[in-house]
Amino acid sequence: MEISTPGRICLFGEHQDYLELPVIAMAIPLRLTLKGEKRQDQKVVINKPDLGETESFSLDNLLYTKQRDYFKSGINVCKLEGLTFSAGFDCEITSQIPIKAGCGSSSAVLVSWIHFLSQMADEPVDWSQQRIGELAYVAEVLEFKESGGMMDQYTTAVGRLIYLESKPEIIIQSLHSNLGTFVLGDSCEPKDTMGILNRCRDSRLDLIQKLKRNNPNSRVQSFDEKMDLSTLKVDELLLFRGTIKNRDLLSRALSELKKETLNHQIIGKLLTNHHQVLRDILKVSTPKIESLLDAALNAGALGGKINGSGGGGCMFAYAPENPEEVANAIELAQGKAYIIQPSEGTQIN
């Protein structure tokens, strides 16, 4: 059995989904491949040649022994759904997705693993891509009480370009606009994903609770400047305005992406405006990321932003007309460039 799952970029709604705000995200053609077969015993062996690692455990003991024990959590979640496994597996995972760089590599692992398990169970099931994304979110985030939202799991599972709304209910809408080409740039800087997520999430969750005390009937989806903001400190007021600005930028982008004829210049500008909030208010960019974005824009990109939690990792530029020139500029600025377009979701090869 061979499963292939894409990475992803977040166009709009970065650092917003865990606040129960919507996102627009796109699967990319850099993909993770999981190959596996059944064993004659209860052992599960996962070879990761890209990392020079091998992970193994037994189906007889699925207690977690580390914080992100994803392969065990995937099996546990599938068992809660009624699947049974009478034999273990030999698996190999290889990936084109930049690792720990904000492109959803860990979620691609979980989505691939859940998809693989659904097919290799004693009684296989054909879950929809959306269902696979949902269970991957449970296995990756809820099982370990992590800080992230559900964007990565649903985007890599469903594929291409999606609008995702998590509250009051999960709504996934496929967007079919002819966006064209982007260029992903890896800064090759390591980043503290969970530390940044915790900082950005916790500061705004505290802010939201503070606002709700003074505005008890309000919801973050409808926050505006007419609310009682009198108790906010200067830094909290900036954080509030940045959060609602990014929320409103997504709404404008969604309206544009639903049009029959897409204005690429507007999309590029909205991406850059989104990045400015991430850089100046959430402070998740780095000098290297800024140099890659400057190089891309100077080479003719229409806009761009940091991708993922930030503090390193990747950026991307919107370059529907001249992706080769933009990719070359990113390389000259000491980044690793990938020309990308929307890609299909998780699939059996």
The reply to whether 29 and 137 lie within a common domain is yes
The reply to whether 22 and 165 lie within a common domain is yes
Q: How far apart, in whole angstroms, are the C-alpha atoms of residue 25 and residue 84?
A: 33
Indicate the range of 98-102, 141-145, 192-196 predicted with least confidence: 192-196
pTM of the model: 0.94
How far apart, in Å, are the Cα atoms of 17 and each of 63, 70, 111, 247? 29, 21, 18, 10
| 277 membership: H or E segment, kind and range | helix 264-280
Of 158, 176, 194, the last residue of a domain is 176
The reply to whether 169 and 89 lie within a common domain is yes
Could you list the residue range(s) of the whole structural domain that residue 298 is in?
183-340
pLDDT classification of 131: cutoffs 50, 70, 90: very high
Residue at 35 is within a domain: yes
Count: domains in the chain: 2
How far apart, in Å, are the Cα atoms of 60 and each of 63, 76, 153? 9, 12, 27
The reply to whether 132 and 111 lie within a common domain is yes
Residue at 347 is within a domain: no
The reply to whether 64 and 187 lie within a common domain is no
The reply to whether 303 and 261 lie within a common domain is yes
The reply to whether 309 and 210 lie within a common domain is yes
pLDDT at 206: 87
CB atoms within 10 A of CB 112: 30
Q: Is pLDDT at 194 greater than 80 in this prediction?
A: no
The reply to whether 285 and 153 lie within a common domain is no
Residue at 346 is within a domain: no
Average pLDDT over residues 66-70: 92
Of 131, 152, 176, the last residue of a domain is 176
Q: How far apart, in whole angstroms, are the C-alpha atoms of residue 280 and residue 287?
A: 12
Residue type, 166: S
Per-residue pLDDT of 279-292, as tens digits, reads 999 999 999 999 99
Q: How far apart, in whole angstroms, are the C-alpha atoms of residue 56 and residue 290?
A: 41
